[in-house]
Amino acid sequence: MPIKVENLVHIYMKDTVFQHIALDNVSFTIEDGDFIGLIGHTGSGKSTLIQHLNGLLKPTSGKIYIDDIDINSKETSLKVIRQKVGLVFQYPEHQLFEETVYKDVAFGPINLKLSEDEVLERVKASLGLVGLKYDEVKDKSPFDLSGGQKRRVAIAGVLAMKPKVLILDEPTAGLDPRGRDEILNQIKLLHKKEKITIILVSHSMEDIAKLVDKILVMNKGKIQFLDTPRKVFKEAETLERIGLGVPQVSNLIRELRKKGFPIEDCISVEEAKTAIINVIRGKKDA
């Protein structure tokens, strides 16, 4: 069981007039290999939560276990935890700094004091995992790449550490629709190929609905839901109340049902297409 969070509380600027409870008694478990979408309105505590999962922030109270290891116990090496849990920050391309793509992606593995061959292997493999061709990009300056490509290089740098858990904080922020779809498809492929646990932070239901196994919904520092997209989208009213929509296609299906069409909930356009065609056919046959 890779991630277990127990009664996690995080208070920024505790005991000052600016005190703010960003995480309010959060508990949940994420199973090995799960693909989780972490969603919530701006300020709901998403970034605060994920920075606890690799020890970057310390809990005000509560515990975090990765592979049954209490990551904040004195005996735990945070270096080991950070190798297991790779965190891609928002706008990760701002952290690219080497002259070449190769050097940037190799930075982490070199720090691990791996052999030159192993570093090379890892750089090649992780660029491949984000859909970039090693020979084409290795000698380029990261700054000469497109926005989407820069971001992929930054993600490759984290993958080169071979994490068991990959956390991405709003990886589509600021990208155009094409860049956004590319990144999301790469992440989906990555989950399929590598079977690692992925936590994808987003404020867009549309983005994550079709991708993830489970959605973790945060609201004002608390967990509102942790369930499959299908079950979470049944709570459309609550989601709207906390500033999150459901995907447009779920709304459409609900409207059709209100009008008397016998149609089940759908979470993707493809699914809805089939369901609507079936209903129309069924009506004609009747």
Instruction: Give the footprint of ligand ADP on this chain (CB under 6 A).
Output: 12-13, 20, 22, 40, 42-48
Work out whether the CA dihedral 230, 232, 237, 240 comes out positive or negative.
Answer: negative
Do 161 and 119 form a contact (C-beta atoms < 8 A)?
Answer: no
Nearer CB in complex with Mg ion: 51/72: 51
- The closest residue (CB) to Mg ion is 47
Q: Are 114 and 122 in contact (CB under 8 A)?
A: yes
Shortest gap between Cβ of 36 and ligand ADP (angstroms)?
Answer: 15
How many residues at the interface with Mg ion, by CB under 5 A? 2
Segment lying near Mg ion (by CB under 5 A), choices 42-50, 102-110, 156-164, 273-281? 42-50
Regarding 47 and contact with Mg ion (CB under 5 A), the answer is: yes
Residue 115, binding choice from ligand ADP, Mg ion, none, Cβ under 5 to 8 Å by partner class = none
Between the alpha carbon of residue 250 and those of residues 89, 105, 233, 266, 277, the distances in Å are 30, 40, 7, 6, 16
| Residue 66 buriedness (CB in 10 A; 0-12 / 13-18 / 19+) | buried
**Who's near 186: CB < 8 A, 6+ residues apart?**
129, 130, 131, 152, 155
Q: Which does 33 bind (CB under 5 to 8 A by kind): Mg ion, ligand ADP, none?
A: none
Greatest extent of the chain over all pairs of C-alpha atoms, in Å: 70
Q: How far is the CB of 92 from ligand ADP (least distance, A)?
A: 15
Q: How far apart are CA 21 and CA 11, in angstroms?
A: 4
How many Å apart are CA 191 and CA 80, to the nearest integer? 22
Is 202 a residue that touches Mg ion (CB under 5 A)?
Answer: no
Q: How far is the CB of 176 from ligand ADP (least distance, A)?
A: 22
Query: Quick one: 58 or 133, whose CB is closer to ligand ADP?
Result: 58
Q: Cβ of residue 20: shortest distance to ligand ADP, in angstroms?
A: 5
Q: Which does 48 bind (CB under 5 to 8 A by kind): Mg ion, ligand ADP, none?
A: ligand ADP
Q: Which does 12 bind (CB under 5 to 8 A by kind): ligand ADP, Mg ion, none?
A: ligand ADP
Interface contacts to Mg ion, rule CB under 5 A: 46-47
